[in-house]
Structure formats: C-alpha cells, structure tokens
Amino acid sequence: MADFQDKSVLVLGGSRGIGAAIVRRFVADGALVTFTYSGSPEAAHHLADATGSTAVQTDSADRDAVIAQVRNSGKLDVLVVNAGIAAFGDSLDLDPDAVDRLLRINVHAPYHASVEAARQMPEGGRIIIIGSVNGDRMPVAGMAAYALSKSALQGMARGLARDFGPRGITINVVQPGPIDTDANPADGPMKDILHSFMAIKRHGRPEEVAGMVAWLAGPEAGFVTGAMHTIDGAFGA
C-alpha cells in the first residue's frame, strides 16, 4: 500500500461506484481528497462526511466548470478522471444531443482536466483516467458512442504522455471490465451475457479498480505512462 500522506488528490466523479471506492482508497492511504459529483448530492455528502474528503458539485459536461475546478484545486499531486456515462441504443435512433453530451463527459472533460492539471502539477504528478475494456473490445450492439469515447482516451493518453513526460508527469488509462456498480449491477439483466465473455465469471469490485489506480498513482509506477491497464477478468482477452 502506497503512502499518500498529505498528497493532494482530485477525483472527478467520486460520489458513487468506482469513483467512491477511489475516494475511500486515497483517504485510507492518507491523501487530502476532493471529489466532484453532479446528480447525487446526497451520496456525495454522505461520502464526504464519512471519509473527511471534500465534495464539490461540478458537471463534467460543462468544460469551463471542469477547467475551473481543476485550476481551483491548486497544487495537485494526483488527478483521477472517473466520471463517465453510457448511452444504450441503436445508433440510428440515439438522440444526437445525448451522444454529444456523452462525448463531453467521457472525452472532452478528461482531456481538458488533464491539460489543466498538468499546468500546475509538480514534477512526478500522476493523471489516471478511467476508460473501459470497451475501448478495445465491443462485443454487443447499441454501445458505439460509449466504445468511441473509451477508445478516444487511448489516443489521448498516448499523446499527452509525450507532452507531460519531460516533467515526470505520467498519464495512464485504467480499463475495467464489468464492475458491480449502479451502472452495471452484478445481478443486472446483462449479467449472463457479460460473464460468458470472461475467464473469471463475476463482476469485479470497485475496490479492485481502486487498487490499480492507487498503484499507478504511487512511487512504484513512475516509469509507467501512456499505457492502458485492463482489469476485466479477461473480458477483452
């Protein structure tokens, strides 16, 4: 377990699910954690009270608000961009505004937040983006926009790794497979089809993803950048 004593961590999208597990993990490891939320104030305040972290309402679909939030966070040691949404449905029927909103949250926000964070990060800063194994493999219909958004993060991380590398700032993408959250419950209707693709036939736990994030943020991972780290029970294998 890495020691994040007094390190400053910002998690975009931390009120529930994987993001909340990441908040809890960094707090447990000694960090000073701020996280954003949008639609779940109750969950956010409950988590903040329980952990001693700070919750701030910032909609990741609002580019300028995201940039301002990162800028106002001051000297950041670690940025985690977790906020993400899915849009299900035939691409011929999906509302184009819903697709554009997804792209603002899943792609534009990670890009602008990463660049703004790098402006003020000290040498050795860490940026971790939560992508998806669907950036590599999309075995079901109706999720093209989501897959597009998660693949886009791969090119972003490769490019920004080049830009930030000279200052020792790393940027990596963590690519979960099915993880038990509100967005993808372990007992949900997709369970059997998802498990049929996997070698380890269960949903992952948010804490398992948080463990990988913590390792990437820690001192052992200083030479790891511009890379995708898949944690998926072999969903994508």
Residues 6 or more apart whose CB falls under 8 angstroms from that of 16 comprise: 40, 43, 181, 182
If the CB atoms of residues 125 and 176 are measured against ligand NDP, the closer one turns out to be 176
Binding to ligand NDP by residue 13, rule CB under 6 A? yes
Do 32 and 90 touch, CB atoms closer than 8 A?
Answer: no
Find the shortest distance in angstroms from Cβ 77 to ligand NDP: 21
Contact predicate 213/23, CB 8 Å: no
CA distances to 12, 107, 179, 181 from 20, in Å: 10, 20, 13, 10
**Catalytic site includes residue 37:** no
The correct pick among 37, 111, 164, 197 for binding ligand NDP (CB under 6 A) is 37
User: Is there binding between residue 26 and ligand NDP (CB under 6 A)?
Assistant: no
Q: Residues 4, 7, 24, 40: which binds ligand NDP (CB under 6 A)?
A: 40
Query: Is residue 39 at the binding interface for ligand NDP, with CB under 6 A as the rule?
Result: yes
Contacting residues for 155 by C-beta, under 8 A, at least 6 apart: none
DSSP 153-189: HHHHHHHHHHHHGGGT-EEEEEEE-SB-BTTB-TTST
Among 84, 110, 226, 236, binds ligand NDP (CB under 6 A): 84
Among 3, 100, 163, 182, binds ligand NDP (CB under 6 A): 182
**Beta-strand (E) ranges in 8-57?**
8-12, 32-37, 54-57
Residue from 29, 59, 77, 116 that binds ligand NDP (CB under 6 A)?
Answer: 59
Q: Nearer Cβ to ligand NDP, position 45 or 167?
A: 45
- Contact status: 85 vs ligand NDP (CB under 6 A): yes
Cβ of residue 5: shortest distance to ligand NDP, in angstroms?
Answer: 25
Size of the site for ligand NDP (CB under 6 A): 30
The verdict on 83 binding ligand NDP (CB under 6 A) reads yes
Cβ atoms within 10 Å of 69's Cβ, excluding its own = 21
- Element holding 111 (H helix, E strand): helix 109-120
Residues 115-174 that bind ligand NDP (CB under 6 A): 130, 132
What does DSSP say about strands 227-231 and 8-12: parallel, antiparallel, or unpaired?
unpaired
For binding to ligand NDP (CB under 6 A), which residues are involved? 13-19, 36-40, 44, 59-61, 82-85, 105, 130, 132, 176, 178-179, 181-184
